[in-house]
Amino acid sequence: MLRDAIRSLAEAKIAPYAAAVDEEARFPQEALDALVANDLHAVHVPEEYGGAGADALATVIVIEEVARVCVSSSLIPAVNKLGSLPVILSGSEELKKKYLGPLAKGDGMFSYCLSEPDAGSDAAGMKTRAVRDGDHWVLNGVKRWITNAGVSEYYTVMAVTDPTKRSKGISAFVVEKSDEGVSFGAPEKKLGIKGSPTREVYLDNVRIPADRMIGEEGTGFATAMKTLDHTRITIAAQALGVAQGALDYAKGYVQERKQFGKAIADFQGIQFMLADMAMKIEAARQLTYAAAAKSERGDKDLTFQGAAAKCFASDVAMEVTTDAVQLLGGYGYTRDYPVERMMRDAKITQIYEGTNQVQRIVMARNLP
Ligand SMILES: Cc1cc2nc3c(=O)[nH]c(=O)nc-3n(C[C@H](O)[C@H](O)[C@H](O)COP(=O)(O)OP(=O)(O)OC[C@H]3O[C@@H](n4cnc5c(N)ncnc54)[C@H](O)[C@@H]3O)c2cc1C
């Protein structure tokens, strides 16, 4: 029922704008409005804080169905979870009450600020500093590649509080867009997910009350990594969605397109491609849903499973969307058809929330 409801909403209110959002590289406001109106923009927020209280699997299905028609729009529910999960996992009751309510109501989105210009895969090498000053912290630094920066009201920022301790000297904070000293860089010009703004976040002597720290001092990096264990599954969901969208489109196209006097769907070479695409998607779906169940239960092997789901599903998304372009021939290579956008959008799922090389490092360190 949930899938049917989201699919109809996505097809009616999000899909019609997907090509324009990509072409104009503009924020998918129509998608945000539709998601907020239907309480689907941050479904993971627990009921006690005014949210829909969706479990990890339901959240995956929401993201998957939105990504099936528009990956840029799927970053709205996905990054709202990414940005706010540190508060849910490690924040004080006061922080939860203060920030999760507005998020659930649609009054403010959340972003997640871990990466920096010189700290990507090696995120613990970050330089952004937070220095204690009485009952405040003062933050200085540059966060890079921040999804929904400038649109979000709230930012979970990881910053160094003790430079002698590397990852154990990193703490997490909630920074608000309206805090003095917060500003944003120009939107990045990207290959895909062009509707999702990616900008730098500048922190210039941003002075925030000490109770904005998420959890204890020095636990920020651990919280950031624990968050990714859960949210990598949402990237797998995006990958799954875009792959399914590409297969669905290609499946229809091959039945219409005629060459050599018959529909190209009648050629076995085409049928085998479609079979392989569907098989890979289904394998990715099973892995992703199993990982979502593990996320919900907090199983011990979540770290391996989350990385495996993200890595596998995103590799499948890249293969399937590339094959979908192939199935449409020359038409697939043009912006008159949606599959080239899907192929460009799929690529990011192999890169963010840890590249697929990093996922393989994570899996190798946590072999079952
Ligand atoms: C569109 C977009 C949105 C993003 N959104 C966010 C966000 O909201 N918040 C946020 O904090 N970050 C975000 N990111 C950042 C993203 O997570 C990083 O880009 C990613 O982790 C890779 O870091 P990097 O770009 O510095 O690449 P690098 O770390 O420089 O990696 C370059 C290459 O080297 C490889 N490599 C690095 N180390 C190893 C190793 N040990 N073994 C093998 N290979 C290795 C990588 O896999 C990659 O292929 C986003 C990025 C993009 C492009």
Chain segment 56-73, per-residue pLDDT in tens: 999 999 999 999 999 999
Q: By alpha-carbon position, which residue is closest to atom 30 of ligand 1?
A: 120
Q: Which residues are catalytic?
A: 353
Domain(s) of CATH 1.20.140.10: residues in the chain: 221-365
| Distance separating alpha carbons of residues 325 and 195, to the nearest angstrom | 21
| Distance separating alpha carbons of residues 62 and 40, to the nearest angstrom | 7
Split at pLDDT 50, 70, 90, the class of 24 is very high
- Phi first, then psi, for residue 227 (nearest 5°) are -60, -50
Q: Are 114 and 155 in contact (CB under 8 A)?
A: no
Q: What pLDDT is attached to residue 293?
A: 98
Closest approach atom of ligand 1 to CA 118: 26
Residues 6+ apart with CB under 8 A from 29: none
Instruction: Please tell me if the CB atom of residue 123 comes closer than 6 angstroms to any atom of ligand 1.
Output: no
Chain segment 41-54, per-residue pLDDT in tens: 999 999 999 999 99
Given this structure, which CATH class describes domain 221-365? mainly alpha
Q: Are 154 and 166 in contact (CB under 8 A)?
A: no
Instruction: Please tell me if the CB atom of residue 119 comes closer than 6 angstroms to any atom of ligand 1.
Output: no
Q: What pLDDT is attached to residue 54?
A: 97
Q: What pLDDT is attached to residue 44?
A: 97
CA dihedral 280, 285, 290, 294 (to 10 degrees): 120
Q: Are 3 and 61 in contact (CB under 8 A)?
A: yes
Domain 110-218 fold is Butyryl-CoA Dehydrogenase, subunit A; domain 2 (2.40.110)
In terms of residues, how long is the chain?
368
- Could you name the CATH architecture of 2-105? Orthogonal Bundle (1.10)
Residues 6+ apart with CB under 8 A from 304: 362, 363, 366, 367, 368
Closest approach atom of ligand 1 to CA 83: 8
Share of the chain above pLDDT 90, in %: 100
Structure tokens at 117: 């210009």
Q: Are 310 and 235 in contact (CB under 8 A)?
A: yes
Give me the mean pLDDT over the 115-130 stretch: 98
Structure tokens at 19: 């090509």
Q: Three-state DSSP class for 131? A: strand
Q: CA angle, corner 23, sides to 18 and 27, nearest 5?
A: 60
Domain(s) of CATH 1.10.540.10: residues in the chain: 2-105
Candidate from 355, 356, 365 with most ligand 1 atoms within 8 A of CB, to mutate:
355
Chain segment 323-355, per-residue pLDDT in tens: 999 999 999 999 999 999 999 999 999 999 999
Q: Are 104 and 192 in contact (CB under 8 A)?
A: no
Chain segment 281-323, per-residue pLDDT in tens: 999 999 999 999 999 999 999 999 999 999 999 999 999 999 9
Q: By alpha-carbon position, which residue is closest to atom 25 of ligand 1?
A: 120
Q: What pLDDT is attached to residue 29?
A: 98
Find the 358 Cα to ligand 1 centroid distance in Å.
9
Find the 191 Cα to ligand 1 centroid distance in Å.
15
Domain(s) of CATH 2.40.110.10: residues in the chain: 110-218
Closest approach atom of ligand 1 to CA 193: 1
Instruction: Please tell me if the CB atom of residue 355 comes closer than 6 angstroms to any atom of ligand 1.
Output: yes
Quote the mean pLDDT of the chain. Answer: 98
Instruction: Please tell me if the CB atom of residue 114 comes closer than 6 angstroms to any atom of ligand 1.
Output: yes
In DSSP terms, which residues pair with 184 in a beta bridge?
201
What's at 135, amino acid-wise?
D
> Could you tell me where the DSSP H helices lie in the chain?
2-9, 15-24, 29-37, 56-69, 71-90, 93-105, 220-256, 268-297, 302-327, 329-332, 339-348, 356-365
Q: Are 71 and 342 in contact (CB under 8 A)?
A: yes
Split at pLDDT 50, 70, 90, the class of 216 is very high
Instruction: Please tell me if the CB atom of residue 351 comes closer than 6 angstroms to any atom of ligand 1.
Output: yes
| Distance separating alpha carbons of residues 149 and 203, to the nearest angstrom | 13
Other beta carbons within 10 Å of 91: 24
Q: Three-state DSSP class for 368? A: coil
pTM over 0.75: yes
Closest approach atom of ligand 1 to CA 114: 11
